[in-house]
Structure 1
Amino acid sequence: MRASGVRVTLVVHEHKRLGRGIELATLAEELKASGVGLHFLTGELQGSHDPSGVVFTVLAALSGMEREYIRDRTLEGHESARKRGKTIGGAGVTDDHMLSMALHLREQEMSLRDIAARLVITTGKKKGQHPSPATVMRMLREHDEQSTAPSAS
């Protein structure tokens, strides 16, 4: 924020950094009630603006719509990829040998961090590195869920 005389102005790099939809409308009301001005350094709305103005209201609505559009397109892309047999996310770094070693180390009551430090990724770009504790936790959780799931007979 910048204080120039009595007026206070919130300076933001770009309108997208301020919020979207309802968040942006709520913020506009708070800024208006506090008598705070708004100044964008870059983007389509570069310059000073009155947070209670029509521009701000339209911006809030458009930002919310843009967010939903991006989300919908992303979900459609994921669904299309799945139908083509593609996997979503990064390459898997775990294998059966790593799982059996992690299970053995867990039986010795080692922490996830210690288990991860003893495991080594054997394939892909991360070959030779250790998996993260989160990866170890996910691998063990998936194993536990599969082993406790009732068999489909």
Structure 2
Amino acid sequence: MSDDGYLRVEAHDCPMTSCAAPAGSPCRTGKGKVAIQYHTARFRLVPALAKALTVAIPAVRKPGTLWIELPRPVAAGVEPAGHVRIGYARASTVRQSLDTQLDALQAVGVTRIFSEKISTRATTRPELDQAVALARELRSAGVAVTLVVHEHKRLGRGLDLAALAEQLRAAGIGLEFLTGELQGSHDPSGVVFTVLAALSGMEREYIRDRTLEGHESARARGKTIGGAAVTDDAMLSMALHLRAQNLSLRDIAARLVITKGKKKGRHPSPATILRMLREHDEANATVSSAATPKG
């Protein structure tokens, strides 16, 4: 970086929420000191520094001293220009190679790439979270940002992909897929985001309908819906005896033991006892109602 290169960095506000140094001032630490290096999200707003790993704060800004806000440059206030492309690569297992994805991302000029080996079933994907967080930081500074991925399956499938697309759309972050059915660049307001949102709703309805259909089919065949039954007549008899002694559901459950199935030897839950007793009471009420002569 040239002797006055730091001025180009400081022409922009720092987009890092933990810093938020205004244009004209160096970056600061969480303890209120002048930082030793500019934050990555800030110096990469300067095209000439986009590939730099670190950019040191010059001695003229006195790194390590108490941070104070300096006057804004005359040109400050102009929205930062430029377009940043952030790459993401993922493999499902540690045995799978990321080389193909990384090579493809680098071949199209993506220099900031987050990668990880983790299943799409994982509830959190740290590297993807970091990529999206950086994209949001840059976008909040007014920079156009696109998340670049080798193929849409690397981001997720079905509802997960639709949910992520909605997050990116809300933040104004674009998507670009290098290959696959969705190959191409997609604006947050474009048709791909709309389609993914629609598919999300359709898939939810499809799952719900299929679940209800499965329940109806199972009931028609006399099958019980839910987990394997853990109650039996002996347990019901004992539960009725304990209820007559005014014991709570929790106390009743603690005195009973499951005698069959995978949970054999364990205590049933209070909810199981409540359901068993309620079904017994409803059945008795039905029998009593049917046996009562009509006047």
TM-score bucket (shorter structure): 0.5 to 0.7
Match of 2:289, SS state, is coil
Aligned AA (1:152): A
Conservation of the 8 A alpha-carbon contact between 1:78 and 1:88: yes
Q: Percent identity?
A: 68
Conservation of the 8 A alpha-carbon contact between 1:121 and 1:128: yes
Aligned equivalent of 2:139 = 7
Match of 1:76, SS state, is helix
Aligned equivalent of 2:250 = 113
Aligned AA (1:151): S
Aligned equivalent of 1:145 = 282
Partner Cα separation in structure 2 for residue 38 and residue 117 of structure 1: 56
Q: Which runs of 5+ in 1 are unaligned?
A: none
Conservation of the 8 A alpha-carbon contact between 2:230 and 2:268: yes
RMSD over aligned CA atoms reads: 3.6
TM-score by length of 1: 0.68
Q: CA 1:128–1:58 in 2, change beyond 3 Å: closer, same or farther?
A: same
- Mapping 1:70-149, distance limit 5 Å: 70-149=207-286
TM-score by length of 2: 0.39
Q: CA 1:137–1:84 in 2, change beyond 3 Å: closer, same or farther?
A: closer
Match of 1:128, SS state, is coil
Return the index of the structure with the highest Cα Rg. 2
Partner Cα separation in structure 2 for residue 69 and residue 58 of structure 1: 16
Aligned equivalent of 2:87 = none
Partner Cα separation in structure 1 for residue 270 and residue 214 of structure 2: 30
Conservation of the 8 A alpha-carbon contact between 1:28 and 1:56: no
Q: Which runs of 5+ in 2 are unaligned?
A: 1-131, 148-154
Give the paired residue count: 141
Partner Cα separation in structure 2 for residue 109 and residue 55 of structure 1: 61
**Higher helix proportion, which one?**
1
The one of the two structures with greater contact order (alpha-carbon pairs below 8 A, sep at least 6) is 1
Partner Cα separation in structure 1 for residue 261 and residue 237 of structure 2: 20
Q: For residues 86-118 of structure 1, what are the alpha-carbon distances to aligned partners after superposition, in whole Å with 9 as ceiling and x for unaligned? A: 332222111122112112222322222221111
